[in-house]
Every structure is written in C-alpha cells, then in structure tokens.
Amino acid sequence: MAGRRAHIWVTTTVTLLFVLLMAGAVCAAGGHDGASAGALLKDFLWRLLNFLVLFGLLYYFLAKPLRKGMAERREKVSKELEEAKKVRDEAEAKFAEYEEKMAHAEAEVDKIYQNIREEAKAESERILQQAEQMAAKIKQDAERIAGTEIAKAQNQLRDEAVQMAMEIAEDILKKNITREDQARLVEEYKQKVGELN
C-alpha cells in the first residue's frame, strides 16, 4: 500500500517536472519578447497550479474511496474464488461419491444376477427331483395296478377254466360215462382243482 503511494507521488513529480521543462522550452522558443514570454509562463504556471490543486484535491478525496473500492473488489473476487473452489471441491466430492455408488451398484447388480442364477438352478434341480419322484410313484402304482389286474385276470381265467371243464366234463359224462364213472371222474377233478389252488 505504501509502495503504491510512493509510486503515485514519484509519477506525479516526474510528470510535473516534465511539464515545467516543456513550458520553459516553449517560452524560450517563443521569441525575444520578455514581457509576452513572462505572461505566458505566468499563465501556464497558474494553469499548472490549478491543475495540481485540482489533482491534489481529487487525489485527497478520491484516493481513499478508490483504494477502499479496489480493496472491496479484491476481497469480493477473493471470496468468489474461494466459493468457486469450494463449489468445485464439493462437485468433485459428489462426483467421486457417485462413481463409488455406481461401482457398488454394478457389483450389487452382478450379485443379484448371481443369486437369480443360483435360485433358478436350485429350482430346476428341485423340479427335476419332484418329477423323478412322481415318475417312480407312477411306475410303482402302474406295477401294483398291473399286478392286481393280472391276478384278477388269472382268477377269472381259472374260474372260467373250471366252469368250462365242468361243462365239458358234464357233456362227456352225459354221453359216455355211467354213474360210477361219473362219480370217479368228479373225485379226480376235485383233487386236480384242489392242487391248483
């Protein structure tokens, strides 16, 4: 701050000296008339004095508000830069958080797919096992029913064979056999039927 003031005063002094030297050169080049040159120098010096007074007053009244305004502007820009950095840091943190969530989401999706595949495989195996059990039960039922039907058919055939044998025997007996032969044949037949059962 002090360096700026010194710089302003040095610049102002150098400018003032340059203006005075130029005025002297103009007066010297103006001619030999001393009165008119003195009047011109006097007029120039009054104008220069007016300018310096005006410049001094402007500097006195405006320098402080300008410095204050520049300091406020610098402070505002600094705050805005800090806020922008803070917002950028927050955005980067959010981005990193979302990237992490996306990575976890992909892993979670893979885990869900894996679980679904495992459940589908287990369900498929369970269904196959149930189907095999049902097939075995159906086979057992079919064998049992077939055994029952075969036994029933055998019994029916035996009954029919006995009935036919009796009818045939009765016909033969009626035609060829006497009563004594008839009694003997009935006894033999009963013995054979008894052996079958």
116-155 pLDDT, tens per residue?
889 888 888 888 898 889 888 888 888 888 888 888 888 8
Output the pLDDT for position 86: 93
The predicted model scores a pTM of 0.33
Output the pLDDT for position 188: 82
Alpha-helical runs (H) found in 2-33: 2-29
139 exposed, middle or buried (CB, 10 Å; 0-12, 13-18, 19+)?
A: exposed
Output the pLDDT for position 22: 65
Backbone angles phi, psi at 33, to 5 degrees: -75, 105
Which stretches of the chain drop beneath a pLDDT of 50?
none
